[in-house]
Structure formats: C-alpha cells, structure tokens
Chain A
Amino acid sequence: MATSPSISLAILGSGGAGALTTGDMLLETASAAGWHGLYTRTLGPQIRGGEAAGLLRLAVHPVECLPDQFDLLVGIDWLNAHRFGAEIKVGPQTLVISDPRGGDLPPMITESGARVVEVPMKDMAKAVPNGRPNMIALGIASRLLGFGSAEQVSAAITRRLAEKGAAAIEASLAGIKSGFGAAEGIAFGTQLAPPGANAARRWLLSGNEATGLGAIRGGVRFAAAYPITPATEVLEWLAPNLAKVGGTLLQAEDELAAINMIIGASYGGTPSLTATSGPGLSLMVEALGLATAAEIPIVVVDVMRGGPSTGIPTKSEQGDLNIAVYGMHGDAPHLVLAPQSVGDCVFTAQWATYLAETLQAPAIILSDQFMGQSRAAIARPADLAFIGARTMATEISGTYNRHAMATNGVSPMAIPGTRDGQYTADGLTHSERGTPTSGAADHLAQLDKRRDKLEQFDFGDHWASVEGAGDTAILTWGSLTGAAREAAGRAAADGIDIRIVAPRLLAPVQPRRLAAALAGVKRIMVVEQTHGGQFHKYLRAHYDLPAPVRAFNRPGPLPIGTGEIHRAITEWR
C-alpha cells in the first residue's frame, strides 16, 4: 500500500462518547512506536456534555501544527458536530467514517465532497459484552493509520484502564479488534510511512507540562498557583514534581497573592514561578513593576487564550503581546519570551528562568492554549547548561549597596540570613543602598541600571529561530512558527525561497540581530493570531523593516493554517 509521511485524523463525538480518549490512545500508541505526533482536544468551556473533538496528526517527522484538511474523520456521532464546522476542515480527499445511527451528517461534511463510509459502530459495540462505540472507532482508526495489529494499542488501553480492571480492558480490546476487522474492507489508499529504523520511543507531553519541566531544569523550586484555563496544567504538573526535587507549591487566594508570593520566595533566594492566562496577567501587572524596581527575579507564564475579558478560555490567541511588553506602569524593562512549539516550551521556560535569575528581572513567558494544551510526541529535549545562577552577595564588609552600579548593571543580591547584608527591598525609587528617595539623580541612575543590564546582555542565537535564506521573509512568533515553517516548505516546492524569522525573545528588543536576520530580504510577511495586529505594530515600533510588508493577522479561535500562509505568500506578486 502507498504510504504518507503524515496522516491526520479528527474524531468527533458528543460529550461522554469517548472521542477524546480514542485520540489519546492513538497518540500514545504511535509515540511508543517512534512516530511524531500532535494531538489537540477541542471542546467548549463546559466540564461534561456538549461537544468534543480530538484532532490528531501523526508523522515520520516532527509535527508542530495541525493540517489544513483532515485525511480521516471518524464521527462516533454527529450530535454536536455543527459547532466544529469552522475548525475541522474536510474536503474531497477526506474519508469520513460515519455511524448510520449517529444522527444526520452535518453540512460541513455533506457540502465538502468528502467520501463517506458507513460503519455501524454502535451496533458493533452492542455485539461485544460491555463494548463501547469509541473502542470500535479506535480499532478502525488503528487499521486505517497503518498500525500492524489491533494488539498494538493494547499497551495504551491497559495503562489507561488499569484501575477499571481486567474485564474493562478485555471489553475494550474486543471492541478494538472488531473495529480493526471492520476496517479491512475500507479503501483509504494510504497509511503512515514506517517511523524509520532509528526511531526511538518518543516523549509524550503537553506544552504546559513541558513548561513546568523547563522551569525546574532552569532552577525553579517554588511556585504559587491560582487556577485558570488554559494554564492550570503547568501548576498541576509542578505540584508533585517540585516536591520531588525539594521544592514547594503554594495555592494562592488569587493572582495578586500568587505573584506576590513568588516575589517573596525569590527575595528569600528561591527561583520562583507562577502561571496564569490573560485575566490573571492583568492582575499581576502591578507586582511585575515591583519585581522590576526591586530587582527580584521571577518567572510568570501566560498561557494565552482568546480575550479580552473572559473571552474564549479554551481557545488560542496571541492577544497578550501588548500587555506583556507594554502593560506596566512607569518605565519597567523586563524580559518577554515566547516558546514556539510543545518541545520548545522546555527550552524557553528553562532559558527564561536562567535569564530572570541572571539579570535579576521578571520574565514573562507567552505560551498559548494551542501549544500549552496540545500533547505532542517528540524527541527528548536536550539538556542545556542554562541553570539559574543569581549573583549573590555572601561575604559583606562595610556598607552593602543592594542596587550598586555595576558595569553589567547586575548588582550582587544579599538574601535574608546573610550577615551585614540587611536592606529593604523597595518599590519606591531608591538609592544604590535601597533607601527611598525622590531625587532625580537616583531615579535616573536606577532606571538606567535596570535598562542597561537587559540591553547590554548577550542573548546569543537563541533570541530567534532564523531559518532559510530566501528574499521573502515570514516574521512570526509563538506557536504559529510551526505552520509558517511548513508553509515555507511548500513554497520551496513552488520555487519560492522563504526565510523564517521568529523571535523567541520579544523584550528586550534586538534591533541589530533582527536587521542581520532580515538582510537582503525583498518582502516581509508578518503572520500573527491577533485581531489588532499587535505583533506588526510592535515590529514597526522597534525595528526597521527593510522591505515592503504585508500583515496577515486574524484573531482566534480558528488556528492559522499552513495552507493560508502558503496562499498568502504565493498570491503576493
């Protein structure tokens, strides 16, 4: 049979049908066999009931975005499918598996020209003792994707259902076998190419878990937590794992408390983090100013969702760029970083922690719902040397000036317990010693110090992903980088060479580095997921863009796909 390097599958069902579990099982099975993958669960803000869909893409290569169009769509039922009309693209190449008793096919399918094959999943489930239709669907999908046997998913099932006992596992496996058998006669025309001889068992994790891991790798040992969708999993992953490494997590009464708790912990010498989303970041902004003024390193993760206000808590957007970069009162230089994929969340969180500690400044990490809550099968992220190492004052003789001018702007920090290092950390404008003052000279000196320590630091090559050498540049950031990269690959096939420039470091800005990255470009496409073009305006404010610019921006919740970026480039003549 023909093989494909990448196959995508959407699985739909009304709440409780088990569609999401089915997707998890497929991803786990594929990752164990060495495929790469990305799995997004899409659902409304309800806890149970309503609509649910799992969007899965498996490939022989790293996967950082979903497809424009799904190769395979399995509908356990169609009761709430209309709510996904805009999100799940199907077309004439899509094979749809539908249960004749699952309700009417929605227009998104009937109008797409997709090929529909009916399989009576509900009836087949009834024929298996304690059978469930989603296990039939799992069997069908396993065969169509090209898994060797129904047994290949048994490890994932056994792990998932361990608590439910042998009978439940047995029933599920019987359902899977039934589905696997039924798929024999379905012509799909392709299957996943084998993962390759050297393919190792993949890591399976979400971007939010990856962020937690990166933070611990970077040295974070305290987190304060206030739950908010879609950031909570960062904190839930940290709770047990911080405890394993001698750290602590404290649940706060609100976001105001959370950020002040981490400032207190960091003042005491412990690298500290909190995680939130846009509404929470808004509440934290005042204390971010305090951390800037008092030069206390902290890390704040913002897993962005649709905004403003409560917005769309379960869907992705990049609309917090402005508040992250400009949100603070006064002139408050700080770090803003953005990971670019699930795997990059490990790196960026680790680097952010390292930078915050090194520069004694707050760092905001702008992740988003898409990469934060997607699970990915990836190669293990490399170990890095970026371990937070704060410059400390440990032996003090004479007067200790906490905020002393230093050539690199970073002054040694005494932590409580250090003899003769006593000082009062203060949000008031202060002298080098830390004593409050309203004098112009001290104010300017400390503003300069806090700016210069960030501007003079050498951030190295990690500041951005710069790939390709074409004279058409795509300037993008965050989780859109994967789709842009893939669009560049397609454009190359059309003979258009694209250069991808995606800053990972959004503040402090790096004008010389961006100028070098854009040298020789003839045109620039700015791609971002905002309504107001925040990234475009940010670029215009801080950088010389040396060529004509087109902006391609759209708000969430619809992801910006590879095909759209590709089309925008090819149509620009």
Chain B
Amino acid sequence: MSGVATRSTAKPADYKSDVNAIWCPGCGDYHVLMSFTRAFAQLGLPPEQIVVVSGIGCSSRIPAYTNCYGFHGVHGRSLALAAGLKVTRPDLTVVVASGDGDGYSIGGNHFLHACRRNIDMTYVVMDNHIYGMTKGQPSPTTEPEFDTALAPGGTGVRPFHPLVVALASGANFIARCFSGEPNETANVLAEGIGHPGFSFIEILSPCVTFRPDERAWKERVHPAPVAETSDQGKAARRLMTDDGFNLGILYRGNRAPFQPAVSKSDIDLSELEKDFEL
C-alpha cells in the first residue's frame, strides 16, 4: 500500500488492492473496476480519503478490490450508510457502488431520497438488467418478456427508468456509461465525483452468464446525440424519449449540495442542562 498519491504521480494501480477480483469471466464489472481506479488516479485523490460504499450483489463486491476505504454493507442500504458517513465526514470523497437489484428494487426508496437530499457523493449503478448473484432473476430493469425460472415467459412488467426517476427526484448530475468503454467511463466518473451534490451514473455492464444477449450492447450503445444540459425540462424530454443506450453526461444541475452546518462549538455540556433547570 503506497498511501502516497498526488495529483501529479497517482497511477490507477495505486487504487487497486491485492485482493483478487472475482466475477464471471467476461463480466462488465471488471471494466468498471478499471474505470474506478483510472478516475481516482485522474483526480489524484489520496486513496485513504476515498470511501467506496456498496450493498449486496455482484457489483457490490467492488470496494474490496480497490485500495480505498470500503464498506460492503447489507442489501439495498448503501446510499443511507454513505449519507451518514458523508454528512459527518465532508472531507472524504464518497462513491457508492450498486446494481439494478440492490439499487432500484430493495434500495429503491433510498435512491429517491438520496437524489432529493443531494448530498455530495457519487452513485454508480452497474446495470445488467438481472439479478446475477442469485442466478438470474428479473430485476426492475429487466425487459417484460425476458424469460426466467422465477418469471416463466417474462414478468410482463414495464421496466423502471432510473435516469428519469433520478431527474424527477433531484439528482444533480445524471450520466450513462458503458463498461466496455473504460476510458470514457473513467472520464465521466471523474466529472461526477468533481461535480457538487448527488451525481448518478448508470453504467451498462453486461452479465454474460445470465444475459448472454447483452454481449450485443457494444453494438447498441452510442454517444448521446445532444450536448449536455442543465435545463431540467430539456433533460426530462431527453430522458423520457431515451432508447436506453445514449451515453454521456445527460444532465448537469446546479443545485447546492446538502451539508448540514456543523458548528465547531466546544461549549460546556452544562449549557444543555439549562433547559432542565426551569
């Protein structure tokens, strides 16, 4: 562990731990890990100043593979855990890693409130439209006709649109990336981390084991054909008519982040007792 990383000398390898990454061969998440370490190096952040927080699922394995501080918590609650950390330690860079099951299903309510709260952190969802860790059940972003053991013939339920939900709920930065483009993804991650407030970055990350059809995503993704915007109305229209494969920064808001003012007060605790001494 070097622990020494400055803007000028940091290398992606400084942010990689010696724990062997274990995902299925061909999993998009390997590239996401690469994008993480590249983004951290690009920003030159000391690894001990970064915390990667996650929940449960394939994507949530990522903290231990970085050389940053990490928290691999319970299923679906990573955003809440990160909120408590960031408001009490605003000096830290907090990145939350999740997947479409962890983030949009069990963690769906926290997603809404994290967007609304707009604490300065970056939320990365590795979306593969399936529960991988539990072997192939439909997630909130799975297509309605996709056949699984749990939903033979498909769920018949319309997928969730995370980017629209993020915009409506108040996220301050919204982007979509593709794991197969690690350099572009690293750049967007660095932008999101640098942008004040709650940054939401969806990374399309194929599950080659349970969704071999997603190998075709590399043909379907394309740069968003429009310039980035800070206009919520424009962004709403763009996202509502989105084909699901537009890549890039799709919204960049200018809402001030939420950070409760913490007084540096060192008053004697007896001050608090005055209320009781009528």
Contact = CB atoms under 8 A, between A and B. Distances in A.
B109 A254 contact: yes
Contacts of B3: 419-420, 422
Of B19, B52, B85, B273, chain A has the most CB atoms within 10 Å of the CB of: B85
Contacts of B86: 264
A261 B48 contact: no
Nearest to B110: A257
B71 interface: yes
Interface stretch (B62-70, B184-192, B236-244): B62-70
Interface string A264-293: 111111101000000000000011011000
A253 B69 contact: no
Given A263-B84, A426-B64, A244 B47 contact: no
A416 B49 contact: yes
B84 A217 contact: no
Interface in A366-414: 380
Residues of A contacting B: mostly = mixed
Interface stretch (A12-20, A199-207, A542-550): A199-207
Contacts of A418: 48
Given A204-B276, A244-B263, A420-B1, A252 B80 contact: yes
B72 A425 contact: yes
Nearest to B63: A424
Contacts, number: 185
Contact of A216 (B76, B77, B269): B269
A479 B52 CA distance: 43
A224 interface: yes
A417 B268 CA distance: 28
Of B48, B70, B91, B260, chain A has the most CB atoms within 10 Å of the CB of: B48
A427 B68 contact: no
B8 interface: no
A423 B88 contact: no
Given A253-B113, A416-B69, A425-B71, A246 B92 contact: no
B272 interface: yes
A435 B19 contact: yes
A246 B82 contact: no
Interface in B34-51: 46-49, 51
B69 A424 contact: yes
B134 interface: no
A263 B72 contact: no
Interface residues of A, number: 65
Contact of B278 (A204, A217, A269, A287): A204
Given A28-B278, A159-B278, A424-B63, A264 B83 contact: yes
B108 to A, nearest CB: 11
A416 B109 contact: no
Contact of A203 (B69, B72, B76, B277): B277
Interface in B251-278: 260, 262-267, 269, 271-273, 275-278
A358 B82 CA distance: 23
A222 interface: yes
Given A203-B277, A246-B264, A260 B81 contact: yes
A250 interface: yes
B48 A257 contact: no
Contacts of B88: 221-222, 248, 264-265, 268-270, 272
B262 to A, nearest CB: 6
Contact of A244 (B71, B73, B267): B267
Contact of B84 (A243, A265, A380, A427): A265
A269 B89 contact: yes
7 contacts: A264-B80, A265-B88, A266-B84, A421-B48, A421-B69, A423-B69, A424-B63
Given A263-B81, A424-B71, A426-B72, 4 more contacts: A209-B276, A222-B84, A257-B83, A265-B88
Interface of A: 28, 31-32, 156, 159, 201, 203-205, 209, 213, 216-217, 221-222, 224, 241, 243-250, 252-254, 256-258, 260-270, 272, 286-287, 289-290, 294, 380, 416-428, 434-436
